[in-house]
Each structure stands twice: as structure tokens, then as C-alpha cells.
């Protein structure tokens, strides 16, 4: 498979942190407390926890190299009170063990993608600009979106688009995407959007671009996001000290269901 070459410079890291007050209010950081930020992104929630209590410590994780670099820079002023580790959040227990931490007092996870990942066209997560059909959060592992589309059967692709994107016309979309692949017309994000528009038409439905659901579905599948959330939820309880608190922000019905069930 040959991928088109993209030479666009990635943008500087930018993400607007949501529900900062609610997260700090839920975790109530206290002196001597240790808190986990499972999805550090640009470091917004970590910074808020560290600012809210000068005696608190944060161990932060993200699977994305850009996020880890941005968070390390942003949080450097907090010196030894914070550690940023590049890792899957399902592996936090192992990392905490390595640090000699047996239990934490609170944990926040802000699930999904960052604005940076969407804005960086070289990641291929957005249909707003031309980029490679990649979509991986961790560029060092896993299948790209293009590889996934190649490897799934048309029926499997339709099922991914239906389950993770809640796209009613998933079968038609999968057919047009596979057709574009066979015709060698599926190299970039804009090619994928064109294939989806061929299937569902150019009109915005419910105020969103016709390709939104398909892009969301493929991103979730490429990054195995729901599997990661399920694995994470299995370890969360074991990481908490008695009375420990958890705040999880979800933006997708599949993730939301899993979180509520686990609680």
C-alpha cells in the first residue's frame, strides 16, 4: 500500500478543557493526595487539580506523543508534583506500581479525542482538511483507518459504522467506501468524505456534516476506544484508596453506557 506524502506542519497543541470546575469539585484534591489524570491531553484538568491544592500530586497519562509533550511543557511549573507518562490508560495500575503508589485518592478521565487531534490534518481524523487516512492517536502502533477499511469485509465495515457511528445508512456507506477503495479513489480524508457523500448525499443531517458519523466510527475502531474504556474501567476500582473519587467525562453513547454500568 502506498500512502500519499503530506508535508503540512502540525499545528501547535491547543485544546479547550471542559468541565474544569466540576472535575475539581468532584475530586476535591487535598493535601498529600495523589490524583490520576488518565487522559492528560494539553494538561487542563491536571493543572486545575494542582492549582486547587498546593499539597496534591498528579500522575498523568496519555497515549498520544504530542499530548505528552504539550502537557509536560504546560505542567513543568509544578515540578515534582506532577509526572506525565505516555501510556494506554488501561495500564495505569502497572505504572502506579512502578512508582510505588499503591492507591490514589482520585482519578479523572476525559474520554475521546482532543481538539488538537482533530485540528492536526496529518492525523487524518477530520474531514475538514486533506490528510492521510490514519486516525491513530498513538502513531507507534495499530492499524490506520485505511488499513482497517482494506482488512474489513464490507459487512464488517458496515457494522463498525453502524455501531460506533450510529449511522443508519451504514450499509450504503460501506458499499461506497469499499467501491472507492477498489477504484483507487480512497487515499485521503477528503476522498473518504466524498465516498460517504456519494452514499448519503451532501446535506447536513441534524446540523452535522454527512461524514461526521463515519469518521467518528472509524476513529473509534482504529483506536479500539471502547475496548480501552472497558479495560480501564476494570482497573479503576483497584487503583483507588477507600473513599477515593472518580470523574469520567464521556462524549459517546457507547462509552457512556460502559461507564454508567461500571459505576
Residue 258 found at the interface with ligand SAM (CB under 6 A): no
x/- string (CB under 6 A) for ligand SAM, residues 169-208? Answer: ----------------------------------------
One residue of 24, 33, 35, 44 binding ligand SAM per CB under 6 A: 44
120 in contact with ligand SAM (CB under 6 A): no
Instruction: Report DSSP state, residue 4.
Output: P
User: Partners of 188 in the beta sheet?
Assistant: 132
**Residue 5: exposed, middle, or buried by beta-carbon count in 10 A (0-12, 13-18, 19+)?**
exposed
- Answer yes or no: are the C-beta atoms of 161 and 174 closer than 8 Å: yes
Please identify, using beta-carbon distances, which residue of 46 and 189 lies nearer to ligand SAM.
46
Cβ proximity to ligand SAM, 92 vs 180, nearer residue:
92
CB 226 to ligand SAM: min, Å = 10
- Go through the chain and tell me how many residues it has: 263
When asked if residue 126 is in the footprint of ligand SAM (CB under 6 A), the reply is no
Of residues 78-97, those binding ligand SAM (CB under 6 A): 88-89
Q: Shortest gap between Cβ of 31 and ligand SAM (angstroms)?
A: 23
Helix (H, G, I), strand (E, B) or coil at 88: coil
Q: Is the dihedral of CA 179, 183, 187, 190 positive or negative?
A: negative
The three three-digit cell numbers of residue 245, written as one number: 473519587
Q: Are 54 and 32 in contact (CB under 8 A)?
A: no
CB of 212 to ligand SAM, least distance (A): 17
Q: From the list 137, 145, 149, 174, which residue makes contact with ligand SAM (rule: CB under 6 A)? A: 137
62: contact with ligand SAM by CB under 6 A: yes
Report in angstroms how near the CB of residue 112 gets to ligand SAM at its nearest.
5
Q: Which stretch binds ligand SAM (CB under 6 A): 40-48, 152-160, 187-195, 212-220?
A: 40-48
Size of the site for ligand SAM (CB under 6 A): 20
The DSSP element (H or E) to which 217 belongs, if any, is helix 212-222
Torsion of CA 93, 22, 262, 137, to 10 degrees: -60
Please state, in angstroms and rounded to a whole number, the distance separating the CA atoms of residues 181 and 146.
9
Distance, CA of 245 to CA of 91 (rounded, Å): 19
The Cβ of residue 53 has, within 10 Å, a number of other Cβ atoms equal to 18
**21 SS3 class:** helix
Which region, judged by CB under 6 A, interacts with ligand SAM, from 59-67, 148-156, 181-189, 206-214?
A: 59-67
- Interface pick for ligand SAM out of 52, 53, 82, 114 (rule CB under 6 A): 114
Residues found near ligand SAM in the complex (CB under 6 A): 15, 17, 39, 41-45, 61-64, 67, 88-89, 110, 112, 114, 137, 228
Amino acid at each position: 500500500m502506498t500512502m500519499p506524502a503530506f508535508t503540512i506542519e502540525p499545528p501547535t497543541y491547543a485544546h479547550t478543557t471542559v468541565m474544569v470546575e466540576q472535575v475539581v469539585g468532584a475530586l476535591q484534591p487535598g493535601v498529600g493526595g495523589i490524583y490520576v489524570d488518565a487522559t492528560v491531553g494539553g494538561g487542563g484538568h491536571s493543572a486545575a487539580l494542582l492549582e486547587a491544592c498546593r499539597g496534591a500530586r498528579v500522575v498523568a497519562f496519555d497515549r498520544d506523543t504530542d499530548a505528552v509533550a504539550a502537557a509536560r511543557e504546560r505542567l513543568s511549573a509544578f515540578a515534582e508534583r506532577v509526572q506525565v507518562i505516555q501510556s494506554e490508560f488501561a495500564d495505569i495500575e502497572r505504572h502506579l506500581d512502578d512508582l510505588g503508589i499503591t492507591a490514589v485518592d482520585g482519578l479523572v478521565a476525559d474520554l475521546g479525542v482532543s481538539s488538537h487531534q482533530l485540528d492536526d490534518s496529518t492525523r487524518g481524523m477530520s474531514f475538514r482538511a486533506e490528510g492521510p487516512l490514519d486516525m491513530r492517536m498513538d502513531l507507534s502502533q495499530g492499524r490506520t483507518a485505511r488499513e482497517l477499511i482494506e482488512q474489513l469485509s464490507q459487512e464488517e465495515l458496515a457494522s463498525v459504522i453502524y455501531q460506533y457511528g450510529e449511522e443508519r445508512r451504514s450499509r450504503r456507506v460501506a458499499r461506497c467506501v469499499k467501491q472507492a477503495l477498489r477504484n483507487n479513489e480512497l487515499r485521503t480524508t477528503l476522498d473518504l468524505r466524498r465516498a460517504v457523500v456519494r452514499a448519503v448525499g451532501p446535506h447536513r443531517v441534524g446540523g452535522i456534516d454527512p461524514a461526521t458519523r463515519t469518521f467518528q466510527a472509524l476513529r473509534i475502531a482504529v483506536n479500539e476506544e471502547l475496548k480501552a474504556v472497558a479495560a480501564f474501567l476494570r482497573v479503576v476500582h483497584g487503583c483507588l484508596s477507600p473513599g477515593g473519587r472518580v470523574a469520567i467525562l464521556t462524549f459517546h453513547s457507547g462509552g457512556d453506557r460502559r461507564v454508567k454500568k461500571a459505576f
